A = this chain, B = another copy of it.
């Protein structure tokens, strides 16, 4: 596979969207999909689709398109969802609960091996078939389980500290739901999701739409 060092960030996001579309189809082994099909499905240009896929090699056949099944498998491999990821969840508040109940994560390759919270009322309870452990055990448990991915759903005030515990526990990537910037060693991958930021983007665009008629 092409070296992953020079992949445009926007491309990675779109690859996920192409894959999402392909996973939603039930195609027979010979079904093909064109760059135009995928482009319409996610709302970009067909040239964009071809450029995105070309970063990782040649998947298509001129005059025909892409074999849906093969492309799907190739995208899974590129994105890393062709294997399983040992995952833990830190924080069982609002967002943590939603994640633990989400269910579709296992199907996408993410095995939730443990969940943690600091609230004595919550520790020991079960959410979405996952038992909640004390956050004091987080670091050691992560190490024992060889956890690779941490989903961080604790309050902003605790986020940096718990993130550092995850890192000491050996995780190499954190999905951060807390509304703070995490400062961690550069070899730790971080992706952040912030509801407020998303809402602000939305209403900015509403205002922009209205301003320009």
Contacts and interface: CB of A to CB of B under 8 A. Distances in A.
Given A97-B98, A172-B209, A191 B202 contact: yes
A41 B121 CA distance: 34
A101 B94 contact: yes
Interface size class of A (residues with CB under 8 A): 35 or more
Interface stretch (A1-9, A61-69, A130-138, A162-170): A1-9
A200 B4 contact: no
Given A97-B98, A181-B41, A207-B80, A201 B24 contact: no
Q: For the complex formed by this chain, how many copies does it contain in all?
A: 2
A191 B198 contact: yes
Interface of A: 3-5, 7, 12-13, 15-17, 19-21, 24, 41-43, 78-81, 85, 94-95, 97-99, 101-102, 104-105, 108, 110, 148-149, 156, 172-175, 179-181, 183, 187-191, 193-213
Q: When A and B form their complex, which 10 residue pairs have the shortest distance between CB atoms, in order from nearest? A: A189-B205, A80-B203, A98-B98, A4-B208, A191-B202, A173-B206, A16-B197, A16-B200, A79-B200, A189-B206
